[in-house]
Amino acid sequence: MESTKKYNILKINGENKNMVEDIVVLEYPFTIFIDDEEIITLLCSPKSLKYLAIGFLYSEGFIEDYSVIDNIRIDEDEGRAYIRLKVGKTINEKLQRKRTIASSGGKGTAFYNVLDFLKSRKIVEPLNISIYETKKLMEIFSKSSDLFYATGGVHACAICNNNSIIYFEEDIGRHNALDKVLGKALVENMDLKDKLVLISGRISSEMLIKAVKRGITVIVSKSAPTSLAVHMARELNIVLIGFVRGEKMNIYSSFSSLKF
């Protein structure tokens, strides 16, 4: 399915006004069902929907591993994922409780439980990466986003090793883009301890938590981190790098892990 849609719009430029065909980024409602129970409707870009479903369910704690899934069927026309769990498997019980206190756009008490959990997993040795490699990766990453250049309205995420991009995904939502690359890695059973994640948008605490839960130790963004993300990165000894633009970058944590 296309990730954009064409509309006739009125373009104004000073005194000129013209009706022209323009490209708008698609916003696609995508509903996930597990064993016939409706879990959520995500508003997303209609690519890599299987990875989005798996990544979302893992990030939010509905499943603890890909192995619990018997099969997943995507109906693109209806915008639905139908997931069957293996016999005897159920979605996380605690999550059922969490869902009654969390609503869209925020977190319930579970947010604080996650923090406690992560503290127990402080990184002893983050991936070794150099400033030069980081800069080179961000250059490749920045050139990879066709959809952004077409519409100005998407976020991108990538999983990389020290010198190349392994997975690259785009979505209208920052969280969805990250869930897609992490979901793909989960489906393909990729070890992420020696990988880093590149993010086009801001790094909030929730973005950092998603990556850390999967074992990522280096997070690199073109944009700004929040205070809570910096705080957590320092607590957990994650390498957090922001504002990677041309020859410049800001390193927010784990300074000694970087090679120059």
Interacting residues toward a copy of itself by CB under 8 A: 4-5, 7, 9-14, 17, 22, 24-29, 38-43, 56, 60, 98-109, 111-112, 131, 151-153, 172-173, 175-176, 202, 204-206, 223-230, 243, 247-252, 255, 258, 260
Question: In this complex, which beta carbon is closest to a copy of itself, that of residue 101 or of residue 188?
Answer: 101
Question: In this complex, which beta carbon is closest to a copy of itself, that of residue 148 or of residue 166?
Answer: 148
- The sign of the CA dihedral 93, 99, 100, 102 is positive
Closest CA to 58 of 185, 241, 183: 183
Minimum distance from CB of 46 to a copy of itself (Å)? 10
Question: In this complex, which beta carbon is closest to a copy of itself, that of residue 88 or of residue 106?
Answer: 106
Go through 42-52 and write b for each residue having 16 or more CB atoms within 10 A of its CB, e for each that does not.
Answer: bebbbbbbbbb
Question: In this complex, which beta carbon is closest to a copy of itself, that of residue 162 or of residue 221?
Answer: 221
- Cβ-contact 59, 179 below 8 angstroms: yes
Closest CA to 83 of 37, 49, 38, 35: 35
Question: In this complex, which beta carbon is closest to a copy of itself, that of residue 166 or of residue 237?
Answer: 237
Distance separating the N- and C-terminal Cα atoms of the chain: 43
Minimum distance from CB of 56 to a copy of itself (Å)? 8
Closest CA to 172 of 23, 26, 7: 26
- Two tokens at 176? 């969805």
CA 189 to chain centre: 17
Question: In this complex, which beta carbon is closest to a copy of itself, that of residue 19 or of residue 87?
Answer: 19
Minimum distance from CB of 158 to a copy of itself (Å)? 20
Q: Which residues contact 118 (CB under 8 A, 6 or more apart)?
A: 209, 212, 213, 232, 235, 236
Minimum distance from CB of 146 to a copy of itself (Å)? 15
Minimum distance from CB of 10 to a copy of itself (Å)? 4
- Two tokens at 86? 């293996």
Minimum distance from CB of 198 to a copy of itself (Å)? 16
